[in-house]
Structure 1
Amino acid sequence: MDPKSPEEDEVMDQFMDKFQTEKYKGAFSEDRWEEEFDNIPMFMKKAPDEIDPEKAPELACIQSMLYDGDPKEQATNYKEEGNEFFKEKNYKKAIIAYTEGIKKNCEDPELTAVLYTNRAAAQFYLGNYRSSLNDAIAARKHKPDHLKAVIRGALCYMEVKKYSEALKWCDEGLRITPSDKKLLETRTKADKLHRAAERDVRKMRQAEKKNQAEKDALLRAIQDRGIKLLDERSEEEEETSGGSLDGISSSENVTGAHVRLDEGGRLTWPVLFLYPEHSQTDFISAFQEDSRFIDHLSEMFAQDLPPWDTERKYLAHNLEVYFEDEKSPSFHQVKTDNTLLQTLQHSRLRVKAGTPSFLIFVKQCPFSTKYFSDKKVYRIRC
């Protein structure tokens, strides 16, 4: 080592004297040294989202070094950046980075496939299974045998419950790598769920077929009896030869009751009794077609009279029954000794919403006289 000249020693002594007497202007502050240290690009723990070249020229320079190369270099850098975000589980930023890499159109099938596959993985962990699947498909367009893309696509098909497609992708992947554990596990699960789904479809079709057969039998029973249905939605009469149950199947009441055909071939209807004088109703969920009105009235008004009948005048033998013909409009009295079937076969009665409705009045009471005073009424002739 060459000895220093006297001039060099003098310069060094002057520098040391100045260093001891004057504080270094570029030094870190005692209170904020950690924050300032983190602003040095080499020691940064996390890069800022946006870089201002004037405020951070060093960072802008590094960014230029990373992203101003040829398309392949740029795409590779974006891929690495996306991978770092992915490791941090910041999947949204990872997607942005991979997307920027894809936009570079680097014309390298392997790299492009990796970018699409990595973005598919990020989308998958965000629950965006359709987007993830689209990326897996895009990756295979660039590299059909890209195993990670095949696995990701199979997993996406599992999530969207397309098990047959998942099986197809698993088989394609196993042709590439027959012993891949993830594909083997996914294929086993997909096969099990696919068989279960097919079984459920068969059961559903059988149930639909049985339900349709029951509907057809019910419709024939109604047609054979000459009962007319009125579809509440269209207010149009369903002719008995029309072959439709819209008038009853579309309007099942809130109790779940609807007309049904029992094993003996007998119809049972839900029936509504209205009491206009007191604004009250009674709902009979199962009125058999061969039952008489008087039998139901006797059971309903036997001993425990309703609390709204304060005058105790609603007694079975003292009641009149009517139905409304909305086509006329008019009201028709019903013989209480008649069965429900005999009444439903009346030429002017149409069953609305699958539930026959009848109005109940006390015989010769002032309310019924007033109620029918401005209406057309067809009474029973004695």
Structure 2
Amino acid sequence: MSSPNVPIGPQSITKDEIDKKLAAFDSVPLFMKSLPTEDTEDVTLAALQSLAHEGTPDEVAENFKEQGNEYFKGNRYREALGFYTQGIDAHPTDVVLQEALLCNRAACNLELKNFGSVLRDCSKALILNQHSSKAYYRSALALLLLERVDEALDCCNRCLDFDAENRGVLGVRDRATKAKAEKDRREREKAERSRKEKEEKHQMVIAFKERNLIAIQKEDGSSNPYSPHFDAEDPTQSTLVLPVFFLYPQYATSDVIQEFVEDTPFAAHISAMFPPQAPPADWDTKREYIDGNLVIYAMTHRKRLLKVGKKMTLRDVCKAAKGKENEPKDGLEVKDGCLTFVVLPKGDVETKWVEEYKKTRDAT
């Protein structure tokens, strides 16, 4: 009577366990994937080595090719490749056999994604036989997978010149034709994006010059995720939108307005950020930053201080920042893509900051 703890019938086995059992056969001479090339004291191995290389080079190579074919049918491409290589190394004299070994090894490398090796073996096969359809087919597949679609199409067309009904090559040509159309579409879109970017950069340079804006780039490149651009809602593409920093030097903190449309009054932003009825910002310990109790200052490139009126727009401030005739160029600095303004409460804080700014400016 069977024990209740002993399973009855065939038991399941994991893939890892199967692989381990198959790997164990590699040490058994009759089941080795390939025979060692060096001398051995193992009598069985020595006998097998002798048998494997017994006969003419063509017979030896044919034997290795047949073994490779068996492994290839079982999807064991790396082992099959080893046998085809041994067949090639046997230096057969039969050109048809040489071509077959090279094309078969290329088929293994195609499965293993060694596309450079595929192209090298197919090239050698085509030297032996200029009408080798298999070599053209596998070359075309490798080139297609490498996204070298023009070369893949060339391979297909060369083959179809003498083997017009080859379904495999026709299939690859169809895939390559579609891939080329897609590649061409992407390249056209990329070229169009590049053209638009260049045009926008050119228009931005003109817009900056017209608005007395002076771009100051960081030496180590921009770290600002926002950048000046034209308003997408303006069909004339003439309205500038810039990121703007509001600095609060009294508390060493700041806010960023990601998109400040140049025709928007500063008062619109201030009233939205500091409405009288809203709770104060965490850092506003004295409850001074309230709409109606604030002043805004702009600093020009030449360190002039401009007081911004509540009804002034960004475009108005840009005009006010323009330097006088016969004086060096002046304007607002766009540092790392951003404009900067100082926001202060009226009264002593404002007076003290203005005095310190002028003192520092005059000292330099």
Report the TM-score range of the alignment, normalised by the length of the smaller protein.
0.7 to 0.9
Aligned to 1:351: 334
Distance 2:34 2:98 in 1: 27
Higher alpha-carbon deviation: 56-65 or 46-55: 46-55
Unaligned runs of 5+ in 2: 1-26, 322-329
Q: Deviations over 1:172-223 (max 9, x none)?
A: 2222322111112222222222223223322332333233223322221222
**Are the counterparts in 2 of residues 75 and 100 from structure 1 also a CA contact under 8 Å?**
yes
Distance 1:62 1:116 in 2: 25
What does 1:31-42 align with in structure 2 at a 5 Å threshold? none
What does 1:297-336 align with in structure 2 at a 5 Å threshold? 297-302=270-275, 303-308=277-282, 309-323=284-298, 332-336=305-309
1:71 Cα deviation (Å)?
4.1
Could you say if the C-alpha distance between residues 144 and 48 of structure 1 is closer, same or farther in structure 2, counting changes exceeding 3 Å?
closer
**Higher relative contact order, chain-length normalized (CA < 8 Å, sep 6+):** 2
**Are the counterparts in 2 of residues 259 and 354 from structure 1 also a CA contact under 8 Å?**
no
Distance 1:258 1:301 in 2: 25
1:289 Cα deviation (Å)?
2.0
Distance 2:208 2:353 in 1: 36
Aligned to 1:263: 235
Q: How large is the Cα RMSD of the aligned pairs?
A: 3.5
What does 1:195-274 align with in structure 2 at a 5 Å threshold? 195-233=181-219, 251=222, 253-254=224-225, 256=226, 258-261=228-231, 262-264=234-236, 265-274=238-247
SS at match of 2:196: helix
Q: Deviations over 1:111-163 (max 9, x none)?
A: 33222211111111112223323322232122221111111111112212222
Distance 1:127 1:271 in 2: 52
Instruction: Specify the code of the residue in structure 1 equivalent to 2:130.
Output: P
Aligned to 1:102: 88
Count of equivalent residues: 322
SS at match of 2:292: helix
SS at match of 1:63: helix
Aligned to 1:292: 265
Unaligned runs of 5+ in 1: 1-38, 235-249
1:108 Cα deviation (Å)?
4.2
Instruction: Specify the code of the residue in structure 1 equivalent to 2:235.
Output: E
Aligned to 1:187: 173
Aligned to 2:15: none
**Are the counterparts in 1 of residues 212 and 332 from structure 2 also a CA contact under 8 Å?**
no
Distance 1:318 1:206 in 2: 49
Could you say if the C-alpha distance between residues 204 and 108 of structure 1 is closer, same or farther in structure 2, counting changes exceeding 3 Å?
same
If the length of structure 2 is used for normalisation, what is the TM-score? 0.74
Instruction: Specify the code of the residue in structure 1 equivalent to 2:230.
Output: R
Q: 1:341 aligns with which of 302, 308, 315?
A: 315
Q: Deviations over 1:238-295 (max 9, x none)?
A: xxxxxxxxxxxx74843x5533254342212111112233343322122122333334
Q: Deviations over 1:318-356 (max 9, x none)?
A: 32334567x88x683532344323434532632111111
Instruction: Specify the code of the residue in structure 1 equivalent to 2:150.
Output: S
Instruction: Specify the code of the residue in structure 2 equivalent to 1:314.
Output: Y
Aligned-residue sequence identity (percent) comes to: 30
Instruction: Specify the code of the residue in structure 2 equivalent to 1:291.
Output: T
Aligned to 2:6: none
Instruction: Specify the code of the residue in structure 2 equivalent to 1:161.
Output: E
If the length of structure 1 is used for normalisation, what is the TM-score? 0.71
Could you say if the C-alpha distance between residues 143 and 307 of structure 1 is closer, same or farther in structure 2, counting changes exceeding 3 Å?
same
Aligned to 1:112: 98
Distance 2:166 2:102 in 1: 21
What does 1:8-47 align with in structure 2 at a 5 Å threshold? 44-46=30-32
SS at match of 1:358: strand
**Greater C-alpha radius of gyration:** 1
1:161 aligns with 2:144: no
1:317 Cα deviation (Å)?
3.4
Could you say if the C-alpha distance between residues 77 and 368 of structure 1 is closer, same or farther in structure 2, counting changes exceeding 3 Å?
farther
Higher alpha-carbon deviation: 314-323 or 141-150: 314-323
SS at match of 2:241: strand
Aligned to 2:326: none
Distance 2:230 2:133 in 1: 58
**Are the counterparts in 1 of residues 34 and 82 from structure 2 also a CA contact under 8 Å?**
no
Instruction: Specify the code of the residue in structure 1 equivalent to 2:344.
Output: F
